Amino acid sequence: MAYELPALPYDYSALEPFITAKTLEFHHDKHHAAYVTNYNNLVKDTPLADKSLEAVIKEVYGDASKAGIFNNGAQAWNHTFYWNSIKPGGGGTPTGALADKINADFGSYDQFKEAFTAAATTQFGSGWAWLVLDNGTLKVTKTGNAENPIALGQTPLLTLDVWEHAYYLDYQNKRPVYISDFLNSLVNWDFVAANLAAA
């Protein structure tokens, strides 16, 4: 059973002016789609084809002979998670149980924001910044290329794509502005709260 590219959960222009339709058309329809196509081609007619994407990511992580499957499968998963991590009219501060947990584990929302900004800014080259649940504690992490928290045994709650293809058309070299727009205007805290509640 092939893994299907999920549709974007909003219109291509819905995240403007922060992320333009042109970026989403390339990022979803070309980059994300290519990872899905490559993944399906690599697992086709193998025992992995019938397993969930999450199961395959865990199973092949660290196996050099299956690096292509890991990279394309994890990138397929990471992008779907990223689309759901942002929304039109997002950003601001979390509320409820999620806010309480952030305050308990980071000290304050501002301290979380500082840690997340630092992780996203200092990920050298391509990769991702994450908010994860690790043994019951919230942590900010960063991963290179396709690597993700599922492979590392953590529960992902939120992600930001810091590959240049995610922001270069709109922000060029200004990754820090892309990061602050993500936190101030795009984060889908409802998605993060639902992920925490389900963990």
Closest CB 5 distance from Mn ion, rounded Å? 13
Closer residue to Mn ion (CB): 30 or 44:
30
Position 163 contacts Mn ion (CB under 5 A)? yes
Closest CB 62 distance from Mn ion, rounded Å? 22
Query: Does residue 131 contact residue 117 with C-beta atoms inside 8 Å?
Result: no
DSSP conformational letter for 64: G
Q: How does 64-101 read in b/e, with b if 16+ C-beta sit within 10 Å?
A: eebeebbbbbbbbbbbbbbbbbbbbebbeebeeebbeb
Position 171 contacts Mn ion (CB under 5 A)? no
Position 147 contacts Mn ion (CB under 5 A)? no
Closer residue to Mn ion (CB): 98 or 166:
166
Closer residue to Mn ion (CB): 61 or 163:
163
The span from the CA of 96 to the CA of 55, in Å, is: 31
Structure tokens at 165: 């293809």
Closer residue to Mn ion (CB): 28 or 101:
28
Binding positions for Mn ion, rule: CB under 5 A: 161, 163, 166
